[in-house]
């Protein structure tokens, strides 16, 4: 449980509020004949502000809290307060949740003294029981900027038994939304989230209930579920705290986008924590074989392999150390750097890229193909450098097909991209296998640019900014 809470506060989950309200500048001292200036409001003390004080400052205060009725489940008359809570969460910055979050939930006290804990933050874990989509009244949609939200009925984990309740969220994992029968398919799915306490109630049979609102539910499946696209490999990652729902933001055959930052770093943190006996292949084929499968291979159906642990071997030609500048990632996930490895893997058949019906656009990789591997550490005997010729072996989850420009692919058409698989692994082994690659000059040019462009692309895409004089993210 202590591992899971680190994963909740991804900066992309919350809309930026443009920073804190600006501090008032001091006015010149007034002269004896001047009209007195109205007093300026004091600058808010954000460092010592409670969650309730913060919400009151952004117009979710006593007038809304008084609409909440303790002692009974949610009723229609409370919807205005619920909608206000959901929309105000958009303005909440991640570091505030980190500071306000309580890792232990006083369940009995929430029942006995609900007003005392209203708007307190608690770490919640448990299992999903049902999901309902709730419509915002039509006349309010435009003013609140929200058309629907979700009520997720859950059973909370607690030492004295499983308390029940409802968590209100603006969105649920995409896989839950597209399932044919979401109420059935999601029952029993594990979740975690930071929950803001709204109210408590007690049912006639003596069972306790609690209502929370949350900026996001993290999804941690414990067993495969084909209906939701959950494979044994994804369960392996979820057990190490990864929010599997984040993978819905990954887009293949495209450059890195901002929303891919969180699943990238969460996957790296998960494989770093993974026990060595679980760092085994979940695919019966290696990367070289999957690259050239014509109908359901890695280049054709990448979504089918997302998160799968796939073995690869090849020649490592370039290694770059990447410093992670994002303090949020450093604190939450314990990552401050990683290494990019540019690897050429042998392929049993040529890989050809060509625009339909235009032979002049034909590009062919005859003997080998470039892939990228990201690892948190390097083994002894492997160092940062260029023009390397080191055979390596890696087993790690597939993240995405990444699109980037190279002279080989983009020389005649600037809009054309090279497509290469990106993997994340926890370690690299020096290989004793002999890898015979017949790399032509064009492909060597691709390799040189691959190391430079991939570093720039991932840095710009994940952090949306990069220092030009150093390799930092």
What tens digit of pLDDT does each residue of 145-167 get?
Answer: 999 999 999 999 987 766 899 99
More confident residue, 7 or 391: 391
pLDDT for 33: 52
Q: Which of 179, 165, 184 has its CA nearest to residue 125?
A: 165
* Cα first-last separation, the chain: 28
pLDDT for 418: 78
- pTM for this one? 0.81
pLDDT for 354: 72
pLDDT for 470: 40
Q: What is the pLDDT of residues 419-443, one digit of tens each?
A: 899 999 999 999 876 655 554 444 4
Q: Which residues contact 234 (CB under 8 A, 6 or more apart)?
A: 221, 224, 244, 247, 306, 307
Average pLDDT of the chain is: 83
Q: What is the pLDDT of residues 54-97, one digit of tens each?
A: 999 988 999 999 999 999 889 999 999 999 999 999 888 777 88
What is the percentage of the chain residues whose pLDDT exceeds 70? 81
Check whether 24 has a pLDDT greater than 50.
no
pLDDT for 460: 37
d(C-alpha 319, C-alpha 317), whole Å: 7
Maximum C-alpha span of the chain: 91
pLDDT for 38: 62
3-state secondary structure of 210: strand
- Asked whether 129 and 187 are in contact (CB, 8 A), the reply is yes
Residue 417's pLDDT band (boundaries 50, 70, 90)?
confident
Q: What is the pLDDT of residues 272-306, one digit of tens each?
A: 999 999 999 999 999 999 999 988 999 999 999 99
Give the number of other Cβ atoms within 10 Å of residue 144's Cβ.
14
């Amino acid at each position: 449980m202590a591992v899971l809470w680190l994963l909740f506060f991804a900066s992309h989950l919350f809309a930026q509020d443009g920073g804190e309200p600006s501090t008032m500048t001091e006015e010149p001292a007034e002269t004896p004949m001047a009209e007195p200036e109205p007093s300026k409001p004091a600058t808010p003390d954000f460092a010592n502000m409670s969650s309730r004080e913060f919400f009151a400052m952004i117009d979710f205060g006593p007038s809304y809290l008084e609409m909440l009725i303790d002692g009974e489940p949610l009723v229609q008359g409370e919807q205005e307060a619920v909608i206000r809570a959901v929309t105000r969460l958009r303005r909440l910055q991640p570091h505030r949740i980190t500071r306000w979050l309580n890792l232990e939930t006083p369940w009995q006290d929430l029942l006995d003294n609900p007003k005392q804990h209203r708007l307190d933050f608690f770490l919640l874990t448990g299992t999903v029981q049902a999901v309902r989509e709730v419509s915002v009244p039509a006349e309010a949609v435009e003013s609140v900027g929200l058309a629907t939200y979700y009520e997720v009925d859950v059973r909370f984990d607690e030492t004295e038994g499983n308390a029940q309740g409802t968590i209100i969220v603006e969105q649920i994992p995409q896989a839950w939304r597209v399932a044919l029968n979401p109420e059935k398919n999601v029952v029993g799915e594990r979740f975690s989230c930071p929950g803001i306490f709204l109210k408590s109630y007690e049912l006639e049979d003596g069972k306790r209930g609690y209502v929370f609102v949350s900026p996001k539910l993290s999804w941690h499946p414990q067993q495969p579920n084909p209906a939701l696209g959950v494979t044994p490999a994804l369960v392996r990652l979820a057990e190490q705290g990864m929010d599997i729902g984040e993978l819905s933001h990954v887009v293949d055959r495209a450059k890195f986008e901002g929303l891919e930052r969180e699943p990238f770093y969460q996957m790296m943190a998960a494989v770093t924590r993974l026990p060595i006996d679980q760092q085994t292949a979940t695919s019966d084929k290696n990367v070289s074989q999957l690259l050239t499968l014509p109908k359901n291979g890695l280049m054709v159906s990448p979504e089918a392999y997302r998160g799968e642990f796939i073995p690869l071997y090849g020649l490592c030609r370039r290694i770059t150390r990447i410093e992670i500048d994002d303090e949020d990632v450093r604190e939450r996930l314990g990552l401050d750097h990683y290494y990019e490895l540019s690897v050429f893997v042998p392929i049993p058949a040529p890989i050809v890229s060509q625009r339909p019906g235009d032979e002049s656009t034909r590009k062919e990789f005859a003997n080998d193909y470039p892939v990228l591997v990201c690892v948190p550490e390097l083994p002894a005997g492997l160092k940062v450098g260029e023009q390397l010729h080191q055979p390596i072996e890696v087993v790690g989850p597939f993240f995405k097909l990444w699109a980037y420009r190279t002279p080989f692919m983009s020389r005649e058409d600037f809009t054309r991209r090279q497509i290469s698989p990106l993997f994340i692994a926890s370690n690299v082994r020096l290989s004793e296998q002999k890898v015979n690659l017949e790399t032509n000059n064009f492909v060597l040019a691709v390799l040189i640019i691959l190391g430079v462009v991939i570093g720039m692309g991932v840095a710009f895409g994940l952090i949306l900014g990069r220092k030009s004089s150093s390799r930092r993210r």
